[in-house]
Every structure is written in C-alpha cells, then in structure tokens.
Structure 1
C-alpha cells in the first residue's frame, strides 16, 4: 500500500513538472504585499483578499470544475469558459488558461481587475456587506 502511494505521488510530480505547473499558497500578508505591489487599490485590498480566500484558499494552482464544463483556475479562479483559452492566448483576457496556474499571478491579476471583485460569486457569498479592512501585517 505504501509503495502504491509513493508511485501515485511520483506520477503526479512528473505530471505537474511536465506541464510546468508550479503553484504557491500565499500567506495573507504575502498576498496583501503582492497585490499592493501590483497597484491594487489599498482601499479595496480587503475585498480582493476575501475573494481570493473564498475562491482558491490563496492557492495559485487551484482548479475547480464547474457544472457548465468550465474550470475556475488559479488564485482568482479565472473562468476557462470565457476569460482564457487552453493551449493558446484567448478569451476576454487574452491569456492561456495554463498560465493561470503558475506562481506568477501578474497575468491573473490583470485579468481579474478587468472584471472587479463584484463579478465573483465567492465574493458575493462570503465578502459582500462585510467590513473588510486592510489586513494587518
């Protein structure tokens, strides 16, 4: 049984390395600093952090399969159906969906800012109407 688990883990590691998918799970403070460095408005950082925590758990390689056969990808859960295209640049954000799953969240953030945090159901469910100040770091 232990050998089987090792083989599965090894296979997954090869798979992720082959496709260049390297994720990162941010701390709350690390995420705040990263968003501020990308010129997110300081007054809305609490909303963006709440959205990210509710959508992906701050994990850049998060994939969630949706009922409409699309996927939510990356730290912002960019929708593969409309916002990006697999294997080539495309969609509303003109990005490759695979690029939403790596550690570099610059392209993810650029795409997310086109829509604003109000476009996400996770924000509406978990953040809307709450006092969301800038997290203390």
Structure 2
C-alpha cells in the first residue's frame, strides 16, 4: 500500500511536470512589446498599429483567452479559432493549436499574425477597427 505522503509526492511531481511544459505567460510593457516586435522584423512604420491592436486585444499579455460565443481568440495577438487555429489540435490557416498561442514563445504567434495581416490586413481584428483604425496610435518614440 502506498503511504499518503508518497502518493502526495507523486501527484505533485506529475502536476509540476505537466504544467511546466506549457510555458509561462508574460505581460509586456509598451516599450518591451515595441522592441520585441522590432526583433521579429515587423516593419517599423507598422509597429504602432500592432502595439495598439495588442494593447486593446490582449492588454499585452500572452495568455489572454477571449470567448466570442461561437469562437475564441488566443494569445498576445488574439488570434481567432474560427479560421486561423484549432482548439486541441493543429489546424486552421496557420496550421497550429490555439493553445500554443498562450505561452511567452512568440515565434509561432508572430508567424500566424503576419500571415493573417498578409491575407486580410488589420481588418481581421475587430478590436483594431474599433480602437486603432484612423485613431491616434500609441507613442513609441521614447522606447
């Protein structure tokens, strides 16, 4: 028979292993986000547009999940599950699991966000139209 302390240790180990492999969330400051987008080769002139979209969509947080009724938006860029990713399995136009957009590794998020922007433009994000299009964009010159 397994002792309760041994069982507790085993369960704790399993929990740590399963949760540590998913990555961690990160919340960026405005300047950190601007620098990160520059590092991923976003066009300099478009970075204020991206920062505006991200601020209003995810509050610059990588683990943001927003339910919309018939779909869900994931991660820093709030990428929607209807067309671009699939919940629980790879799929969509970005061929990725939506849950992979929830960690601080931005490489796959950036690839998908750029693909969306290349195909549809910023109009793919309703939050961009509401808060950023033809409006004052975030000031980044001090970054």
The normalised TM-score by structure 2 is 0.78
- 1:91-127 CA distances to partner (integer Å, 9 max, x unpaired)? 1001111110000111111111112223111000000
> RMSD in angstroms over aligned alpha carbons?
1.9
| Bigger Cα Rg | 2
Gaps of 5+ in 1: 1-13
- 1:56-86 CA distances to partner (integer Å, 9 max, x unpaired)? 0000000011122x21100011111221123
Q: How many residues align?
A: 123
Aligned to 2:126: 121
Rounded Cα–Cα distance in structure 1 between residues aligned with 2:83 and 2:65: 15
Summarize the Cα distance change of 1:17–1:83 in structure 2 as closer, same or farther, 3 Å threshold. same
Gaps of 5+ in 2: 1-14
| Offset at residue 19 of structure 1 (A) | 6.7
The normalised TM-score by structure 1 is 0.81
Aligned to 1:40: 42
The residue correspondences of 1:1-137 to structure 2 (distance < 5 A) are 17=19, 20-68=22-70, 70-116=71-117, 117-132=122-137, 135=140, 136-137=142-143
